Amino acid sequence: MRYLTDPPRFLFFTGKGGVGKTSLACATAVHLAESGQRVLLVSTDPASNVGQVLGVTIGNTITPITAVPRLSALEIDPEAAADAYRERIVGPVRGLLPEKEIASITEQLSGSCTTEVASFNEFTDLLADPVLSAGYDHVLFDTAPTGHTIRLLQLPGSWTDFLESGKGDASCLGPLAGLDKQRATYAAAVAALQDPARTRLVLVTRAQASALAEVDRTFHELDQIGIHAAQLVVNGVLPKAAGDEPLAVAVRQRETDALAAMPEHVAVLPRDVIELKADNMMGLPALRTLLSDAPAPVAVMDLVPHVDLSGHSLGGLVDQIEVDGHGVVLCMGKGGVGKTTIATAVAVALAHRGHDVHLATTDPAAHLDETLRGTVERITVSRIDPAQATAEYRDRIMSTRGKTLDDAGRANLAEDLLSPCTEEVAVFQQFSRLVLGASRKFVVIDTAPTGHTLLLLDAAGSYHRDVARQMGGTMHFRTPLMVLQDPTQTKVVLVTLPEPTPVIEARVLQDDLERAGISPWAWVVNDSLAAAHPVSPFLQRRAAAELSQIAEVEALSARVAIVPLLADEPVGEARLADLTRDLRLLTT
């Protein structure tokens, strides 16, 4: 493996959820330790299962892995770190401020930026203090901080003064309030990250367009702040052992096409390719096979895994959506799970049943065009350009709120406006008009703001609160948030894959939405091998691993649709319509 050639002390593994970061980090840690190196493996992944993978219980203390001499692990719980972090900021003012103010501050500190800063704060000392890591030849991190977080830590001036003077909102800068005393430690940690003699960034991806695009974004973001020593690992490429059934041939071709079209910035990086294994990477025997080129024997399963689609069809969900005759359908989920496909399939099905449908997306226009491939009668398509909406929003804030700031203050405000929350807020302003237009037709939206963003808007004096205050109890009114909270007007559909990390991420999103008073209406498990009824022993073993994840989704929601992994991609009106008909015909 090229990424293991002369490895430096620190290795960071990063990539989108579900690409195999944790498996690769664990396998690398075991490999280095069994090669005679002293290794510490640290995880800050919100969906981390390092303990499960290694087969031991690991917590927020350094734990020796007895089965692998010279290997220890530390599993930082990002949510626990964020809770403790919030309490350090909110605790001193609890009892001094009204409860509404406390609730507002707490919500402003409930976003992903808080979690990331809190997690980074937990392992900063390992990077900055050579004494703490002196007992190890290598420290491996499962999940790296984003370039946005590192830029925040490098900002000039005082975050606390900036916020206390009322010059900025606490969306991203809020998590940094009161941390000025740690500037020297942060500076040393960032210096370690930028030093290729000490740090290597391992970009983990799958041979999929969405995963490669995410890796490109991450590399570009980190490259801009001086972290250049990166190598690419393409994980989970379908091997010859998967056989030559039509499904396997189609998947191989999609992977080949994705790698051929990968972004040029990552295409030139040193690259390793790791084949998909028949079994999940759980336990030391499995981990030791991940970095091996030797194909492992695949035994024929006694019981072939099978998922009955009759009670889990996407068409069944459309039947229930159609009952009201109008309303909002929000398809939500992490990138790469197939939200656009599911949203478009629902829109096509409703249109074919005689309903007027407005299909809206925040994905790039080409993505939707490639999925729909032409116009469909009764469907109106609109696209919200997140980049344009965000640029206009940032310009407006900088020209108003930033007008009277000094250079340091403007730098703080400008960086705060680079937060992912800013894009959601900007998009929501256009998105809200679509939501209010669903009283006489169906509005199907691909991607929507998270519960945290909705609460952040509400806590900051959003449209909902402004209208409620102006109208009082004298007039009837309806705001976008009220529409989203009303299950008779809005149906939220969470889309995921039958894999541990995507399911964990979708469950976190569900909790996030419920904090905002929005209960997901249904889940869709997309690209299921178990529902595709594969023939080869290799694919059957992969399918069997999905069953526990599907069972977990069924325990989380009363409505679950399962869409099989198909040999022919569901693009174009006819194939999209098939997704909501009898899917059993597509898998035979």
Distances (CA, A) of 353 to 209, 322, 347: 33, 9, 10
Q: Enter the CATH code of domain 309-385+435-587.
A: 3.40.50.300
Strand, helix or coil for residue 432: helix
**239-283, pLDDT tens digit by residue?**
998 999 999 999 999 999 999 999 998 999 999 999 999 888 888
Helix (H), strand (E) at residue 430: helix 420-435
Cβ neighbours of residue 359 under 8 Å, at least 6 residues apart? 343, 344, 347, 368, 372, 379, 380, 381, 382, 444, 446
Q: Is the model's pLDDT at 41 over the cut of 70?
A: yes
Query: Tell me, what's the pLDDT at 493?
Result: 96
Signed CA dihedral, 80, 78, 552, 331: sign only: positive
Using an 8 Å Cβ cutoff, are 169 and 426 in contact? no
| Model confidence band, residue 98 (pLDDT cutoffs 50, 70, 90) | confident
Q: Is the model's pLDDT at 461 over the cut of 50?
A: no
Q: Give the residues across from 73 on adjacent strands.
A: 41, 63
Question: What DSSP line would sit under 232-256, residue for residue?
Answer: EEEEEEPPGGG-SSHHHHHHHHHHH
Q: What CA–CA distance (Å, rounded) separates 139 from 25?
A: 10
**Mean predicted confidence (pLDDT) in 527-556:** 92
Q: What is the phi/psi pair of residue 32, to 5°?
A: -65, -40
Query: Tell me, what's the pLDDT at 431?
Result: 76
Q: In terms of pLDDT, which residue wins out, 105 or 94?
A: 94
Question: What DSSP line would sit under 103-132, residue for residue?
Answer: HHHHHHT-SHHHHHHHHHHHHHHHHH-TTT
Report for 65-74, 429-438, 463-472: range of highest mean pLDDT: 65-74
**Mean predicted confidence (pLDDT) in 43-49:** 70
Strand, helix or coil for residue 101: helix
* pTM listed for this prediction: 0.80
Q: Is the model's pLDDT at 52 over the cut of 70?
A: yes
Query: Tell me, what's the pLDDT at 388?
Result: 85
**Mean predicted confidence (pLDDT) in 291-302:** 71
Q: Where are the alpha helices (DSSP H) in 195-325?
A: 209-224, 246-260, 264-267, 284-290, 314-322
Encoded tokens for 292 = 């091996």
Q: What CA–CA distance (Å, rounded) separates 576 from 569?
A: 9
- Please tell me the least confidently modeled range out of 200-204, 236-240, 415-419: 415-419
**Mean predicted confidence (pLDDT) in 89-101:** 80
Query: Tell me, what's the pLDDT at 176?
Result: 63
Query: Tell me, what's the pLDDT at 88?
Result: 79
Superfamily name and number for 2-290: P-loop containing nucleotide triphosphate hydrolases (3.40.50.300)
Query: Tell me, what's the pLDDT at 479?
Result: 67
Q: What is the phi/psi pair of residue 563, to 5°?
A: -110, 125
Query: Tell me, what's the pLDDT at 462?
Result: 46
Query: Tell me, what's the pLDDT at 149?
Result: 65
**146-194, pLDDT tens digit by residue?**
665 666 656 555 555 555 555 545 556 566 665 655 777 778 888 888 9
Signed CA dihedral, 157, 160, 162, 165: sign only: negative
- Please tell me the least confidently modeled range out of 116-120, 122-126, 162-166, 566-570: 162-166
| Model confidence band, residue 299 (pLDDT cutoffs 50, 70, 90) | low
What percentage of the chain carries pLDDT values higher than 70?
82
Query: Tell me, what's the pLDDT at 298?
Result: 67
Q: Is the model's pLDDT at 26 over the cut of 80?
A: yes
Question: What DSSP line would sit under 390-415, residue for residue?
Answer: HHHHHHHHHHHTTTT--HHHHHHHHH
Question: 522-528 and 560-564 as β-strands: parallel, antiparallel, unpaired?
Answer: parallel
Q: In terms of pLDDT, which residue wins out, 554 or 86?
A: 554
- Would you kindly state where each structural domain of the chain is located, as residue ranges? 2-290, 309-385+435-587
Signed CA dihedral, 351, 353, 354, 358: sign only: negative
Query: Tell me, what's the pLDDT at 425?
Result: 73
Q: What is the phi/psi pair of residue 35, to 5°?
A: -95, 5
Q: Is the model's pLDDT at 293 over the cut of 90?
A: no
| Model confidence band, residue 476 (pLDDT cutoffs 50, 70, 90) | low
**16-25, pLDDT tens digit by residue?**
778 888 899 9
Query: Tell me, what's the pLDDT at 58?
Result: 83
Average pLDDT in the chain: 82
**330-374, pLDDT tens digit by residue?**
998 887 888 989 999 999 999 999 999 999 887 654 467 778 888
Q: Is the model's pLDDT at 467 over the cut of 50?
A: no
Using an 8 Å Cβ cutoff, are 421 and 113 in contact? yes
| Model confidence band, residue 303 (pLDDT cutoffs 50, 70, 90) | low
Report for 33-42, 54-63, 479-488: range of highest mean pLDDT: 33-42
Residues with a catalytic annotation lie at: 18, 20-23, 45, 501
Distances (CA, A) of 297 to 98, 277, 403, 545: 65, 10, 67, 17
Burial of 93 (0-12, 13-18, 19+ CB in 10 A): exposed
Distances (CA, A) of 7 to 108, 185, 192, 197, 451: 40, 24, 14, 9, 41
Q: What CA–CA distance (Å, rounded) separates 527 from 564?
A: 5
What percentage of the chain carries pLDDT values higher than 90?
35
Q: What CA–CA distance (Å, rounded) separates 53 from 41?
A: 12
Using an 8 Å Cβ cutoff, are 320 and 545 in contact? no
